[in-house]
């Protein structure tokens, strides 16, 4: 019984670690925030990261579009 409780507690402690890591939606939200704060350089890096790490996601498509707009000097 003690072994089962230890395993369950260990699993519960490791669960948040499995959820660690940036999700594309979190990166997109941060990139948009950075643009609002006039930190275009960081926003571009975040958009590039989305494209690189999540190339098949809808967020990557949005990030590519935003990168094109920023390269043309368009702001939101």
State residue 22's pLDDT score. 84
Which has the higher per-residue pLDDT, 20 or 22?
22
Cα 23 to Cα 27: distance, rounded to the nearest angstrom:
6
Query: How far apart are alpha carbons 54 and 60 in whole angstroms?
Result: 6
Which residue would you say has higher pLDDT here, 65 or 76? 65
For the question of whether the overall pTM of this predicted structure is more than 0.75, the answer is no
Distances from the Cα of 28 to the Cαs of 12, 45, 71, in angstroms? 29, 11, 17
- Residue 73: what pLDDT? 86
For the chain, give the percent of residues with pLDDT over 70. Answer: 71
pLDDT of residue 74: 74
Mean pLDDT throughout 8-16?
47
């Amino acid at each position: 019984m003690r072994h089962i409780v230890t395993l369950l507690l260990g699993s519960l402690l490791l669960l948040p670690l499995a959820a660690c890591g940036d999700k594309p939606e979190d990166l997109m939200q941060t990139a948009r925030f950075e643009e609002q704060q006039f930190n275009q350089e960081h926003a571009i890096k975040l958009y590039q990261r989305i494209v690189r790490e999540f190339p098949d996601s809808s967020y990557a498509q949005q990030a590519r579009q935003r990168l094109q707009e920023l390269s043309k000097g368009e702001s939101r």
